[in-house]
Amino acid sequence: MDDAPQDPQGLDRRDFLKSVGVVAAAGGLTVAGSAAEVQAQASMTLGPYATPWEPADPNIPGRQNVVPVPDDYYIPGRFAGKTVIVTGSARGMGEVAARRLAREGANVVGVDILEELGAKVIDEINAAGGKATFVGGDIVDNAVCEKMVQVAVDTYGGLDGAINNAGVMDALFPDEPIDYPNQKDRVMARFDEAGDEYFDRVVKVNVYGTFYSMRHQIRQMIAQNRGGAIVNVASVAGIRGFGGTVPYVTSKHAVQGMTKTAAIDCAAYGIRVNSVGMGTTLTPMFERAFEIIGQRRETGFADTGIGLYKSMSLLQFSDQQKRGSTAAEQVAIMLFLLSQEASNITGSTYNTDGGFTIY
Ligand SMILES: NC(=O)c1ccc[n+]([C@@H]2O[C@H](COP(=O)([O-])OP(=O)(O)OC[C@H]3O[C@@H](n4cnc5c(N)ncnc54)[C@H](O)[C@@H]3O)[C@@H](O)[C@H]2O)c1
């Protein structure tokens, strides 16, 4: 019988391993093929780094578009035997992270307030051969954060990593239909018009929710005495100001602060804590934010707030189709920071923002 490990989501891992000469080892990879073989596999798997403009740009000969990492790219066996919590796993970047982690061999504990959708994603991961468990609930509830860690311990025997990704830009329930005229007090607004409920909920989820999650994860990792890695999902809004989003900018700056503090408190226990600061990425959150802004403009709102100053990253601006960042591009860096390859990185922020913050 063929006992090669099967890719839980469709690809035949055996072919990949054979052709590239990769031996998957728990928590890491050994590249055993010749340089030419590895190069050949890399170009098959990742494709070219850039593609020419079509039709060519007469003003800039040689103009190229950056090609994103393929949505189905993964590194076989990288997280074999590791258990990782992903908050906000029902959709967007959290969903992509949960699916890719499972493909790379991790036991995944997914957490989301969208309970039906969250359970469906986890069921699909399991049906495809991965190992995943769902915890429904709101990360603002300390008991939910305690439970996510307990489930990791009870189901998989411990906790090795976490991606604290659940976050919100407004006080709407994540799948509440957008109806701006009746939601003004709970969504993006100029500073002087920002509602109490809006400020309170965004800060509660992004700051308190991240804090409660991290606190339980770190307690478990210290008690286990085998190290660990945590990645917090911040934003370019954790580095820069943006119009019309005071609680979001405030909360994402706080996530950056918590990341640095936790890195210091955890270093002696072999636990690394980093964050990613992304720019606009194509997910339901992004689509919903644009829907709110669009409806706000229709009501005649004409301030200089959200979306009206610089909104494109350097790479988006330079791209022929003005392509936004993909969830797969963001998740690639989150997983790198979780992995052994990032063993020398802690307390840092990776600005996964297509160059947004450098110009
Ligand atoms: N999409 C972007 O452009 C962008 C840019 C910068 C940063 N971010 C950050 O990336 C993270 C993921 O964003 P996304 O774009 O994938 O968003 P998304 O809305 O598509 O997904 C977020 C997920 O988190 C869940 N969630 C929200 N509040 C929760 C709570 N209180 N408890 C449990 N689960 C909760 C939602 O139900 C959803 O499944 C967020 O922290 C967001 O702030 C996104």
Q: What is the pLDDT of residue 294?
A: 87
Cβ(262)–Cβ(234) below 8 Å = no
Q: What is the pLDDT of residue 28?
A: 28
Strands 228-233 and 161-164: parallel
Q: For residue 47, is it within any domain?
A: no
Nearest to 230 by CA among 268, 265, 273: 273
Cβ(159)–Cβ(149) below 8 Å = yes
Which tens digits make up the pLDDT trace of 133-171? 999 999 999 999 999 999 999 999 999 999 999 999 999
Between 73-82, 195-204, 289-298, the lowest mean confidence (pLDDT) is in: 289-298
Taking the centre of ligand 1 as the mean of its atom positions, its distance from the CA of residue 49, in whole angstroms, is 28
Taking the centre of ligand 1 as the mean of its atom positions, its distance from the CA of residue 312, in whole angstroms, is 20
Cβ(218)–Cβ(153) below 8 Å = no
Runs of H (alpha helix) within 71-160: 92-103, 115-127, 142-156
Number of domains observed in the structure of the chain: 1
Residue whose Cα lies nearest atom 43 of ligand 1: it is 167
Sign of CA dihedral 277, 283, 284, 286: positive
Nearest to 290 by CA among 192, 204, 193, 170: 170
Taking the centre of ligand 1 as the mean of its atom positions, its distance from the CA of residue 134, in whole angstroms, is 17
Residues recognised as catalytic: 248
Residue with tokens 């969903």: 95
The C-alpha atoms of residue 75 and residue 77 are separated, in whole angstroms, by 6
The C-alpha atoms of residue 90 and residue 98 are separated, in whole angstroms, by 9
Taking the centre of ligand 1 as the mean of its atom positions, its distance from the CA of residue 285, in whole angstroms, is 6
Q: For residue 185, is it within any domain?
A: yes
Residue whose Cα lies nearest atom 1 of ligand 1: it is 281
Cβ(84)–Cβ(101) below 8 Å = yes
Nearest to 188 by CA among 113, 341, 291, 312: 291
Does residue 5 have a cis peptide bond before it, meaning omega lies within 30 degrees of 0? no
CA atoms within 13 A on the CB side of 31: 10
Backbone phi and psi for residue 81, each to the nearest 5 degrees, phi listed first: 80, -5
- 59 Cβ contact list (under 8 Å, min separation 6): none
The C-alpha atoms of residue 235 and residue 245 are separated, in whole angstroms, by 12
Q: For residue 41, is it within any domain?
A: no
CA angle 251, 255, 260 (to 5 degrees): 145
Which among 85, 86, 87, 93 is the best mutation to test ligand 1's pocket, defined by most ligand atoms within 8 Å of the CB? Answer: 93
Largest CA distance in the chain: 68
Q: For residue 269, is it within any domain?
A: yes
Q: What is the pLDDT of residue 299?
A: 80
Q: For residue 63, is it within any domain?
A: no
Q: What is the CATH number of the domain that holds 164?
A: 3.40.50.720
- Give the single-character DSSP code of 204: I
Q: For residue 34, is it within any domain?
A: no
Q: For residue 161, is it within any domain?
A: yes
Q: For residue 57, is it within any domain?
A: no
The binding-site residues of ligand 1, defined as CB within 6 angstroms of any ligand atom, are 87-88, 90-94, 111-114, 138-140, 165-168, 174, 205, 209, 233, 235, 278, 280-281, 283-286
Which among 165, 285, 286, 291 is the best mutation to test ligand 1's pocket, defined by most ligand atoms within 8 Å of the CB? Answer: 285
Mean pLDDT over 129-136 rounds to 98
Which tens digits make up the pLDDT trace of 300-332? 776 666 666 788 999 999 999 999 999 999 999
Mean pLDDT over 31-48 rounds to 55
**Structural domain span for residue 276:** 77-358
Mean pLDDT over 63-78 rounds to 95
Q: What is the pLDDT of residue 289?
A: 92
Cβ-in-10-Å burial (0-12, 13-18, 19+) of 244 comes to: buried
Which tens digits make up the pLDDT trace of 188-245? 998 999 999 999 999 999 999 999 999 999 999 999 999 999 999 999 999 999 888 9
Taking the centre of ligand 1 as the mean of its atom positions, its distance from the CA of residue 252, in whole angstroms, is 12
Taking the centre of ligand 1 as the mean of its atom positions, its distance from the CA of residue 32, in whole angstroms, is 39
Which tens digits make up the pLDDT trace of 260-275? 999 999 999 999 999 9
Residue with tokens 């099967």: 6
